[in-house]
Amino acid sequence: MGQTAIPEFFVYGEPARELDVGFLHVETVQARASVHRGQVLAHKHPQMAQITLWTGGSGSYWIEDETLSFSAPTVSFMPSGVVHGFSIEPGTDAIVVSVADEALVAIAEHSLLPLDQPVFVTGRGETALWERLGDTVRMIQAEYADRLPGMEKILLPLIAVALSGIARLDAVSHAVTLPAAVALAGRLRRLIDRHFRDDWPVERYVESLSTTRHLLDKAARQVLGSGVRQAVGERRLVEAKRLLLFTVRSVEDIAYETGFNDPAYFSRFFRQAVGMAPAAWRKERVNGDW
């Protein structure tokens, strides 16, 4: 399944849009049945990953060029930018947890599962592990539905637990072979996560990934939606937003933390990307005006 003209969605059937820091969304597959009618066509999400736990029924799932038959229980983790879709039998249902890439940054260090590769795990393996995973995902679903105060602080650790539960099932997982460009973009994203503060030139990324500048930039644009330099800038912006929203550190301190040697330049960069200065953006978000 090629990448050309593959539609990008927010959630299936809704146009892709800019996501807020920490964006989360939980719903069942059947809740959107009037949109997909049992067949979700090939698509991708440019800014968020998804956990899908099939709780009943069966069908066919495709990831990039592979088609996989499944019956419940089955679980998948799909990073942003990976093409996927499914066709299901009547009555088949799943819980889908969508997580913005920006939120995954905070989750990654607490997850046993690598978050740059798709995972598809069938219902084989220890029953106790499946029951524990199911309990965790249903807790996520209930917490999201109840929307009690402090929901976000509870959901992120629960999602990390769910991802780690998927990792514990990986002995029976199906290894998905990704197209070269998708795999390269995933490796680039992981490298950017480690070095976005270090002000690496593009050639340093090219050398570290043993590729060419042309191939790396093409993969980044195809899968991540921007060139290498822009992808680094977007990762810095993600970190800056997280620090502005969830800490009381000064704008100057955040500038240095995200790899900017000049706080004034950081402020211009942030204003150009977001439309307002960092301090104003923080005030608006903290006051709940969004």
pLDDT in tens, 31-74: 988 888 889 888 888 778 999 999 999 999 988 878 899 999 99
CB atoms within 10 A of CB 130: 20
Report the percent of the chain where pLDDT is more than 90. 52
Q: Which of residues 276 and 7 earns the better pLDDT score?
A: 276
Residue appearing with tokens 């402090």: 150
pLDDT band of residue 269 (cuts 50, 70, 90) is very high
pLDDT at 101 (0 to 100): 84
Q: How many other C-beta atoms can be found within 10 angstroms of the C-beta atom of residue 256?
A: 15
User: At the fourth CATH level, which superfamily is domain 24-174?
Assistant: Regulatory protein AraC (2.60.120.280)
In this structure, of 172-176, 264-268, 285-289, the range with the lowest mean pLDDT score is 172-176
Predicted local distance difference test score (pLDDT) of residue 8: 74
pLDDT band at 21 (very low <50, low <70, confident <90, very high): low
Task: Check residue 152 and give its pLDDT.
Answer: 83
How would CATH label the architecture of 180-286? Orthogonal Bundle (1.10)
pLDDT of residue 81: 81
Average pLDDT over residues 284-289: 67
Which has the higher per-residue pLDDT, 209 or 83? 209
Q: Report whether pLDDT(2) > 50.
A: no
- 187-225, pLDDT tens digit by residue? 898 899 889 999 899 999 999 999 999 999 999 988 888
Alpha helices by DSSP H, 95-146: 101-108, 127-146
Q: What pLDDT is recorded for position 35?
A: 84
For residues 211 and 186, the answer to whether their CB atoms sit within 8 Å is no
Dihedral sign computed on CA atoms, order 278, 280, 283, 288:
negative
pLDDT single digits (tens) 87-145? 999 999 999 999 988 788 888 889 999 888 889 998 766 899 999 999 999 999 999 99
Measure the CA dihedral 150/288/79/1, to 10°: 140
Which contacts of 207-215 are long-range, i.e. CB under 8 A and separated by 24 or more positions? Answer: 209/184, 211/184, 215/181, 215/184
Per-residue pLDDT band for 1 (boundaries 50, 70, 90) equals very low
Query: Domain coordinates of the chain in residue numbers?
Result: 24-174, 180-286
Q: What is the reported pLDDT for 290?
A: 42
